[in-house]
Amino acid sequence: MVKGCQRRIILLRGTGSGMFEEAYFILKPEKAHLPEQMMIAEANRIVEQNLLRGGRRERSTPQKPSGKLLAFLLGLMSGSACLGLLWLFLG
For the segment 68-85, what is each residue's pLDDT rounded down to a tens digit?
A: 888 999 999 999 999 999
Tens-digit pLDDT profile for residues 19-76 = 778 888 888 888 778 888 888 888 888 888 877 666 555 566 776 767 888 899 999 9
For the purposes of burial, counting CB atoms within 10 Å of the CB of 42, is it exposed (0-12), middle (13-18) or buried (19 or more)?
middle
Coil, strand or helix: which one is 11?
A: strand
Q: In whole angstroms, what is the distance from residue 27 CA to residue 9 CA?
A: 6
Give this prediction's pTM: 0.45
Domain residue ranges of the chain, discontinuous segments joined by +: 1-56
